[in-house]
Structure 1
Amino acid sequence: MTLLVTIREFGRLTTAAVTPSLDEAQVTVSAFDWLCDLSARFNKSGARLLQVEGRHSLKWDSYVGVVETPCGTRLEILPKHTEQDYCEKKGRAVLCRMIQNALNLKPRTTSVASLELFDAPLTEWVIEQFLAELDHLIKRGLRSDYLRVEEEQYFLRGQLNVVAQMRQPPGRQHCFQIRHDVFVPDRPENRVLKFALERVCKLTQHPDNWRLAHELRGLLIDVPSSNRPESDLRSWSNERLMAHYRAVKPWCELILNEQMPFAVTGQWQGISLLFPMEKLFERYVESWLRGRLLPGATLRSQARTEYLCQHKNDSIFRLEPDFLIRQGKQQWVLDTKWKLIDSGSRDKNYGLSQSDFYQLFAYGRKYLKHPAGQLVLIYPSHSAFAEALAPFAFDDNLHLHVLPFDPHELCLIDSEHTSLPLLSSKDLAKLSDRARGIKIGPTI
């Protein structure tokens, strides 16, 4: 029986009996030991998954997602996007929306409203989206392909395999060794989908997902499951005739752990959907910015053209800001940080990091060579950080703006203070009306 444990970032896991909450939860001894081994494997690759605090306590780091242990404990980690009035349902909805935008996933039936109402674990949400896309694909029709078959029959069909026929023993000369093609749905894409569907049938515990998964499994009875899913996934065709397969592929990759920044490896093949929250928030903001840029403005992520210094005619210490926006001669350098800061704690520098300011100062000196350039530091908004801080001046020409980004409403608060080339809400409404064919203009 699967035991679901839900915590949020930086929550504690212990083997002692505690009152379960999002900041502290109890796990079994076997799950505790397995998580310690998992953390050791992450440390070898240079990533810190959790901190071991004594012999009976673990503190989770800034990774979100789902991990399943061999003993049946399914651990769900939600983002810590607010300090007050934290709601498990809203935390899960924020994480689902971030994954959807960061990986450019386009769910067919799930809207923002339904995300808010979906009160199932993260894995069930991923499974639901995969099944919805697969159901739509099957209704449109699976692609088949010709498969060469060599067999023995009592009649001629296709081409006679002369060499094999000549080797027939005397007692079987009445049988024909033939070679022919059959038009069947046995192709790499369908085999991968069948493999992912069989895995979903074993993993899902939601009644609706279980019912739909087994219905689709019956419809794919003629499709063999993949014996080499990684190889078949690399053979996935992107030709024009396979365009209706594109929507289900990202969800299939999520099920098979092919697109995860980190996936649990080893003998145990459980669920592994782990995302570094810093990178997830960065891609979430990038997806929003690309849809809000004014015509003529360009956005470049992870610019790598400048270095901190020169040494022996060679550049060292490459500078890589998260985003570089250009419009004409003007430039903006933007950086994202997944951290809760407090606009009311001026005596503690609002919780800002001095090293982050050093980093932004170096970005500004190297990338913003035009006097009109500006620096922008983006943090998630919450009750204690609901509006932009006053600008920070490095000198007369270089200023840093610290802005909140609302992960619920998908907006960069007080962005007008930075003169960023972004569409206003009125411009977005006009574009939306034009897309729907609504005439815009003064009425007579």
Structure 2
Amino acid sequence: MTPTRRCISVREHGWLSTEPVRATLDCAQVSESAFEYLCRLSEQASRGGARLVQIEGQRRLKLDNFVGVVQTPCGTVLEILPKHHAEAGSLAEARALLRKLLEAVLDLPARGVGAAALQLFEAPLSEWVLGRFLRELDTLLGRGLRFDYQRVEEELPFMRGQLDLNQQLRQPPGRQHRFHVRHEVYLPDRPENRLLKRALERARTSTQDPENWRLAQELSSRMLEIPPSRQLKQDFRAWGTDRLLAHYRPVRPWCELILGEHMPLALAGDFEGLSMLFPMEKLFERYVARWLQRRLVADVTLRTPARFKSLCTQQDQPIFQLEPDLFISRGGEHWVLDTKWKLLDGQDRAAKYGLSQADFYQLYAYGQKYLGGAGRMALIYPRTESFRTPLAPFEFNAGLRLEVLPFDLDRDELVGDERMGLPYRAARLAA
């Protein structure tokens, strides 16, 4: 088994320090080398417009709103989990929430995994991903790998296939007994199998779970003759979709996740550890969009996001595009919804509940351009112990109203959605 690694679990916006601290979900100690690696990663990510951490001097850094796993060269595995409760909430609940969001947003197969199984699985996110990949790969190998005929040109002491006459005529004296031939060999060296082998190698060297390690070793011996992929993007583009490869579909999302192809944020660097980071606001936005898609009537148009209105024009050309997260239309009715991953305090009106004035300006612009100055809009935030019920409506004018609604991630429920008059299916309305 690979050397033991140290796993640190914290929530987004938590603190990491190289000095001794009392470990909680919001604060932890890391080694000097892990600290330096995270600083380098953040510097690389900031060049692409993302910010992983806020560096506070030489001893302390604050995590931003990315969630997932980062593995450092020194062996530290940093698990960053969602913070959907200000104070309450356990490690198991945060892990279960993140796994649920990823399964829904990334269309990961959920075979044989119910809510109870998710709650009982206490391993870090990385072990969950590796375990699911290994079990899907085991099922695939049980059904058989796809082979292909490949043209081989080689020199043999006997005839096989077709003689390459041009090469044979150039044969030097004393080697006339050797034959230059072309023939086809039935091999498993396909793009799909190369990618699975590459992901399996990463899983085998990354896992710390004895059962995952045992299964990875067994699968490695069964895929011994397959070379690992050296050109990930090219091989993923060449992944076949015909019916003969239908049994490959369940394993592909897990393979993409392990090899970084499912990642909103690409981590650059020489170290190739198992790292996967996701912006939490995007996970929340896409999860709410999927939730709505399952509940709205069939003739509704849902755009996520909408991109057909701009704030103004210049020389008859649109400028400053307006992009609400969710735009719902049915006939002549329209709704604008925006999601925000932020913890509100529904009792603190003096501090405006934690709402942002800039968000309200943005929603006002959406209302003018997408709804013509009259209609229903909503800002959707995660439901917490301090934000359990909708706030009183905000009136921009007599016809334009904004609701601030909590989305309960534990119960999968948009609290107060009846205020919006959304066109749900009959089963939803009856409920």
| TM-score by shorter chain over 0.5 | yes
Correspondence 1:375 to 2:377: yes
Q: Aligned to 1:205, which of 203, 208, 223?
A: 208
Q: Aligned to 1:412, which of 386, 411, 414?
A: 414
Structure 2 residue aligned with 1:158: 161
Corresponding residue SS for 1:171 = coil
Distance 1:312 1:135 in 2: 60
Distance 1:422 1:377 in 2: 19
Distance 1:84 1:11 in 2: 12
Change (3 A) 1:288 1:192: same
Q: Aligned to 2:405, which of 400, 403, 420?
A: 403
Corresponding residue SS for 1:291 = helix
Distance 2:419 2:429 in 1: 18
Change (3 A) 1:426 1:41: closer
Q: How much does 1:381 deviate?
A: 0.6
AA aligned opposite 1:83:
A
* Superimposed CA distance per residue, residues 182-203 of structure 1 (whole angstroms, 9 cap, x where no aligned partner): 1111111101111110111000
Q: How much does 1:37 deviate?
A: 1.6
Distance 1:43 1:223 in 2: 38
Structure 2 residue aligned with 1:432: none
AA aligned opposite 2:358:
S
Distance 1:293 1:378 in 2: 17
Q: How much does 1:306 deviate?
A: 0.8
TM-score (norm 2): 0.95
Once the two structures are overlaid, the 10-residue window that deviates more, 215-224 or 412-421, is 215-224
Q: How much does 1:105 deviate?
A: 1.4
* Superimposed CA distance per residue, residues 76-97 of structure 1 (whole angstroms, 9 cap, x where no aligned partner): 1111000232100110110111
* Superimposed CA distance per residue, residues 263-321 of structure 1 (whole angstroms, 9 cap, x where no aligned partner): 22111111221111111111111111111111211201111111112233332211000
Structural mapping, 1:20-99, within 5 Å: 20-99=23-102
Distance 2:75 2:112 in 1: 30
Distance 1:287 1:296 in 2: 16
Partners of 1:107 and 1:129 within 8 A in 2: no
Partners of 1:108 and 1:133 within 8 A in 2: no
Structural mapping, 1:38-437, within 5 Å: 38-369=41-372, 371=374, 373-423=375-425
Distance 1:232 1:428 in 2: 48
Corresponding residue SS for 1:366 = helix
Distance 2:139 2:313 in 1: 56
AA aligned opposite 1:380:
P
Structure 2 residue aligned with 1:434: none
Q: How much does 1:420 deviate?
A: 0.8
Change (3 A) 1:426 1:34: closer
Distance 2:151 2:377 in 1: 61
Distance 1:413 1:407 in 2: 11
Distance 1:289 1:426 in 2: 11
Once the two structures are overlaid, the 10-residue window that deviates more, 197-206 or 416-425, is 416-425
* Superimposed CA distance per residue, residues 234-270 of structure 1 (whole angstroms, 9 cap, x where no aligned partner): 2212223222222211111111112211122111111
Gaps of 5+ in 2: none
Structure 2 residue aligned with 1:439: none
Percent of aligned pairs sharing the same letter: 53
Q: How much does 1:352 deviate?
A: 1.2
Provide the aligned length of Structure 1 versus Structure 2.
428
Change (3 A) 1:428 1:233: farther
Q: How much does 1:210 deviate?
A: 0.9
Distance 1:277 1:189 in 2: 30
TM-score (norm 1): 0.93
Distance 1:331 1:174 in 2: 81
Partners of 2:295 and 2:428 within 8 A in 1: no
Distance 1:98 1:423 in 2: 23
Corresponding residue SS for 1:137 = helix
* Superimposed CA distance per residue, residues 320-369 of structure 1 (whole angstroms, 9 cap, x where no aligned partner): 00010011110000100000111111222221111111111110110013
Structure 2 residue aligned with 1:433: none
AA aligned opposite 2:114:
S
Partners of 1:374 and 1:418 within 8 A in 2: yes
Once the two structures are overlaid, the 10-residue window that deviates more, 169-178 or 391-400, is 169-178
Distance 1:63 1:183 in 2: 45
Q: How much does 1:427 deviate?
A: 6.5
Once the two structures are overlaid, the 10-residue window that deviates more, 262-271 or 116-125, is 262-271
AA aligned opposite 1:98:
L
AA aligned opposite 2:408:
D
Change (3 A) 1:383 1:239: same
Distance 1:208 1:368 in 2: 55
Structure 1 residue aligned with 2:11: 8
Q: How much does 1:370 deviate?
A: 7.8
Distance 2:296 2:120 in 1: 31
Distance 2:264 2:283 in 1: 10
Query: How well do the aligned residues superpose, as a CA RMSD in angstroms?
Result: 1.7
Corresponding residue SS for 2:101 = helix
Q: How much does 1:113 deviate?
A: 1.9
